[in-house]
Amino acid sequence: MKLKKKDIFFETLENMADTIVQAADYFAQNISNLQDVTLFAGEMKKYESKCDEFTHTIIKELNKTFITPLERDDIMDLTTTMDDVLDGLEATASRFYMYHLHEPDEYIVQFADILRQSAYEIQKAVHLLSQKKLLALREHTIRLNDLENQGDELLRICIKNLFATVNDPIELIKRKEIYERLETTTDSCEHVANKLESIIMRNS
């Protein structure tokens, strides 16, 4: 019996989600003990470029496909929001390289863990979307919202601590930007959840 070929859109979205997980895992595993910041930034750039290729595949297929499994705008918006997650991780990694930062603190490690958890929730949700298990997605969108709230709270804590303990203005600027970039990336994960919620509502 011939297996049915997986839809190109769902397959590519799954590949994107899998790449986000790989990137978030790599980021979290290496951020707590940065041995080679140049290598770290370079590897994150590879993941980001891979995700860009999947985005281009989606755009190319949308331009030539008449009937799509979801609304065209939904496919494009979901692709863009997922791409934003990897862009955020890569942009943070590049700041470590540009700012010569080699000693991440406990807050950066905590952000990395929140983002890793978020990546796995995105992956689970996108694979359920491919299987058309829309209502089962809710568990993961709720979890993504919860993780984003944790990111908000962590930002408040680390900025307060930063201004209380760091006197060097250059160091303060560097750390503050990295914290804010990490929190913005948790926002991007929540945007994925919001897009998935709108897909659920439109297709249930």
- The pLDDT tens digits along the chain (204 residues) read 444 567 899 999 999 999 999 999 999 999 988 889 999 999 999 999 999 999 999 999 999 988 889 999 999 999 999 999 999 999 999 999 999 888 888 999 999 999 999 999 999 999 999 998 998 999 999 999 999 999 999 999 999 999 999 999 999 999 999 999 999 999 999 999 999 999 999 887
Q: Which sign, positive or negative, has the C-alpha torsion 150, 152, 155, 157?
A: negative
pTM of the prediction? 0.94
Q: Do the beta carbons of residue 51 and residue 86 sit within 8 Å?
A: yes
Phi, psi dihedral angles at 104 (to 5 degrees): -65, 150
Q: Where are the alpha helices (DSSP H) in 134-168?
A: 138-165
User: How far is Cα of residue 185 from the mean position of the Cα atoms in its chain?
Assistant: 6
Amino acid at residue number 107: Y
Radius of gyration of the CA atoms of the chain, in A: 18
Residue 156: both structure tokens together: 């408040």
